[in-house]
Amino acid sequence: MSKKNICVIYGGKSAEHDVSILTAQNVINAVDTSKYIIDIIYITNDGDWIKSNQSINEKINDIEQLKLKCDELTPISKLLEVSNDGEAYSAVFPLLHGPNGEDGTIQGLFEVLDIPYVGNGVLAASSSMDKLVMKHLFAHRGLPQLPYVSFLKSEYEKYEHNIVELIQNKLEYPVFVKPANLGSSVGISKCTNKEELISGIDEAFQFDRKLVIEQGVDAREIEVAVLGNDYPETTLPGEVVKDVQFYDYKSKYKDGKVQLQIPADIDEETATTLRNMAIEAFKATDCSGLVRADFFLTEDNTIYINETNAMPGFTQYSMYPLLWENMNLSYTELITKLIELAIERYDNKKNIKYKID
């Protein structure tokens, strides 16, 4: 059987640029090279697209190898037109986190260029990226959530006193201040008083024009991985066990101050409820490919959905792949499955009529 050509796209004009490169290194090194030929495209911090003129034939030992440089840029459509072998790509694999990567923008580009791609479509990616839109969709599906307040930067600049008062009247400290459209805990603050709240708001507005302020809760953080298209499957839940009060960007990716317990130590009934809710969340945002659904579980077994992540951390040590490894699906097999799901979705979409005879 001849090998299929795929293209891994990483980097991006995002605060999560470095996380994306690390993810790309892990994925590239784990792709089944008996099935796939791998091309790579690096998107710089400035948004320039650079494609290696050679396919990847050996392991990437240093992420600096993935920070490609080029004197003359090529139009994006030309980069994606054919592989280095001159063949059309069977699928592209976007490993981009944050804005311009998992928010539906690049997915829209692939749709326009008619290229199969791994992961969620435009609607699912954009609605999963925007925490406020996501909350509205979850509410429509009847999924339980913690109280929250949301507002725009322009509103805050005009009505700062009123908004701070609204937050303090509706929510109880601690609260979490979050940019509406970022992941990997970038720009998020845990606030225990008014001074910290104002400081956290100022910090978060550096990363987005819209914020979500969420009620804090004393609870365990439970995550479920979802995989599939129209008939998604789930893993047993896993738990994020922290040595820090707040699971922020630094503790996630730099300090190693978190541990993952897989599977989580919870009863079978609660695990089943969490898995069913993960499917409901997947369907609420019309997801495909992959999603990680994140929940809070209180001491009395009350469950709140926190969010879904349409492009979860995907290094071999991240929760999503490890949850599937616990279900006897290896990292390499998971990557293969995601590529197959991308091709399946693309082929199914080809059956849709776009003109009337």
67 is in an annotated binding site: no
Decide if 357 is inside a domain. no
Residue 176 shares a structural domain with residue 243: no
pLDDT of residue 255: 46
Say if residue 271 carries a ligand binding annotation: no
Q: Is 296 helix (H, G, I), strand (E, B) or coil?
A: strand
Query: Secondary structure of 197-225 in the HEC alphabet?
Result: HHHHHHHHCCCCCEEEEEECCCCEEEEEE
Residue 355 domain flag = no
Render pLDDT for 316-345 as a digit per residue (tens, 0 to 9): 889 999 999 999 999 999 999 999 999 999
One DSSP character per residue, 159-173 reads: HHHHHHHHHHHH--S
Residues 132 and 249 in one domain: yes
Looking at the structure, tell me whether residues 239 and 318 fall in a common domain.
yes
In terms of domains, do 260 and 336 share one?
yes
Can you tell me the distance from the alpha carbon of 124 to that of 107, in angstroms, rounded to the nearest whole number?
10
| Residue pointed to by tokens 């913690």 | 146
Query: Which of 194, 215, 236 is the last residue in one of the domains?
Result: 215
Percentage of residues in the chain having pLDDT higher than 70: 94
For residue 243, what pLDDT is reported?
64
214 has binding-site annotation: yes
Q: Which two tokens stand for residue 126?
A: 């954009």
Which residue range forms the structural domain that includes residue 8?
Answer: 4-117
Classify 32 as helix, strand or coil: coil
Would you call 299 a catalytic residue per the annotation? no
- 165 and 53, same structural domain? no
* Cα 43 from chain centre: 17
| Of 290, 292, 261, residue with least CA distance to 277 | 292
Catalytic residue among 90, 126, 184, 288: 184
Which positions ≥6 away from 3 have C-beta within 8 Å?
A: 34, 35, 36, 37
Are 207 and 182 a contacting pair, CB within 8 Å? yes
Q: What is the spatial distance between Cα 274 and Cα 280, in angstroms, rounded to a whole number?
A: 10
**Unique residue bearing structure tokens 């009863």:** 267
Any known ligand binding at 65?
no
**pLDDT confidence of 244, banded at 50, 70, 90?**
low
Q: Is 52 a known active-site residue?
A: no
User: Could you count the other beta carbons within 10 Å of the beta carbon of residue 347?
Assistant: 10
Give how many domains the chain has, as a whole number: 3
Residue 341 lies in a domain: yes
Catalytic residue, candidates 14, 16, 126, 239: 16
Whether 357 has a binding-site annotation, put simply, is no
- Would you say residue 353 lies in a domain? no
Q: Is residue 308 part of a domain?
A: yes
pLDDT confidence tier of residue 354, bands split at 50, 70 and 90 = confident
What's the 3-state SS for 256-288? CCEEEECCCCCCHHHHHHHHHHHHHHHHHCCCC
Is 306 annotated in some ligand binding site? yes
- Mark whether 199 is an active-site residue: no
Same domain (yes/no): 137, 201: no
| 35 is known to lie in a ligand binding site | no
In a domain, residue 123? The reply is no
Taking residues 213-232, report their average pLDDT: 96
pLDDT band at 70 (very low <50, low <70, confident <90, very high): confident
The rounded mean pLDDT for the chain is 92
The Cα 156–Cα 167 span in angstroms is 12
DSSP character for 301? Answer: -
Do 164 and 15 reside in the same domain of the chain? no
Domain boundary among 197, 215, 233: 215
Q: Same structural domain for residues 247 and 329?
A: yes
Do the annotations mark residue 221 as ligand-binding? Answer: yes
208 and 263 inside one domain: no
pLDDT in tens, 192-208: 999 999 999 999 999 89
* For residue 239, pLDDT beyond 60: yes
- Residue 322 and residue 261 in one domain: yes
CATH code for the domain in which residue 169 is found: 3.30.1490.20
